[in-house]
Amino acid sequence: MKRPALKSETGEHTHPPGVYYDERMNNKVPEIFRIDIAIRRMDRDFKTKKADHCWRLRQWVAVLGSWFLALVSTTNLWAMHPLITDDTGTQGRGKFQLEVNGEYGQDKDNGATAKTYPAAATLSYGLSDPMDLMLTLPYLHQRKETSEAVVHEGGLSDLSLEMKWRFYKKEGISLALKPGLSLPTGNSDKGRGAGKTTYRLFFIASREGKPWAFHLNLGYIRNENKNEERENLWQASVAATVEVVKDLKIAGNIGIESPTDRAETTPPVFLLGGVIYSLSDRFDLDLGIKGGMTPTETDFSILAGLTWRF
């Protein structure tokens, strides 16, 4: 049954807080579209020759914003490996998480085939409920095949130290900052490190609500290095997960970043899809496939990992 609008002492229609009505049909309209309704009314009142085009642009940006909030208003999970995009989730005070993952990548260029086998172990510790400290120890093995020879090379890469601080969390929306640095523990002459300490800062936004979760990352990297690579790098990516059945999630991820080669103008772009299976509240298994959308990204990669929370 439709709920009629209320009338004030003057006879004008009034409505309970948080409930909005379409004037033409007098029907209740979901609250998430209140911005759209308000803007349509403004558009009707100001639709004259003297209308300010900049004002109209702001109106439509607000409409798109309201539609986006409506889209993600049903989300409640955290992103995890095999996703490249991070989430705002933290471990909680005094709790640990260990992630061990590996990857196989293949890239063909000018008759040569490069195969990479990176692996990493990341230990996270909850300094407080909204703050984590993370230490990552990476390993990289490389194999390059040409018509003349096959070259193998492997060893430790640059060790990484990061901190995640979730500074906002309300009604399913959370925001975090993630500063970090990489120490020159790898051999830069053999392609396993920068040769100098590098710095980075990422902004992370998450929207949660079962069975969906959406995440956004925007990052800057100060790529100090000895390899004559570009020093100022930018990254952006978005990811989503959905729990299709109990303990099984499907994940998707897309991202773009600055090319490290100074002479390169085409940015690497990737598209990733994967699955995450929770063996229990403490253990997760994951598997993903990542494809390069531009020539500067690795052609394809297979990722697998294990997460243990304790």
Task: Give the number of other CB atoms < 10 A from CB of residue 248.
Answer: 12
Measured CA to CA, the distance from residue 268 to residue 272 in angstroms comes to: 13
Which among 215, 234, 232 is positioned nearest to 272, based on CA atoms?
215
Task: Give the number of other CB atoms < 10 A from CB of residue 52.
Answer: 9
Instruction: Report pLDDT for 12.
Output: 47
Domain residue ranges in the chain: 6-72, 96-309
Mean pLDDT across 8-36:
45
Q: Judging by beta carbons within 10 Å of its beta carbon (0-12, 13-18, 19+), is residue 27 exposed, middle or buried?
A: exposed
Q: Residues 6 or more apart from 64 whose CB is under 8 A from it?
A: none
Q: Residues 6 or more apart from 248 whose CB is under 8 A from it?
A: 275, 276, 277, 278
Instruction: Report pLDDT for 78.
Output: 41
Instruction: Report pLDDT for 146.
Output: 84
Measured CA to CA, the distance from residue 278 to residue 286 in angstroms comes to: 9
The answer to whether the beta carbons of residues 98 and 308 sit under 8 Å apart is yes
pLDDT in tens, 195-205: 999 999 999 99
In this prediction the pTM is 0.73
Mean pLDDT across 152-158:
92
Confidence of residue 189 (pLDDT cuts 50, 70, 90): confident
Please state, for a pLDDT cut of 70, what percent of the chain lies above it.
75
Mean pLDDT across 278-291:
96
The CATH number for 96-309, chosen from 2.60.40.420, 3.30.470.20, 2.40.160.40, 3.70.10.10, is: 2.40.160.40
Which one is predicted more confidently, 140 or 31? 140
pLDDT in tens, 266-275: 999 999 999 9
Instruction: Report pLDDT for 81.
Output: 87
Which among 64, 32, 82 is positioned nearest to 241, based on CA atoms?
82
pLDDT in tens, 219-263: 999 999 999 999 999 999 999 999 999 999 999 999 999 999 999
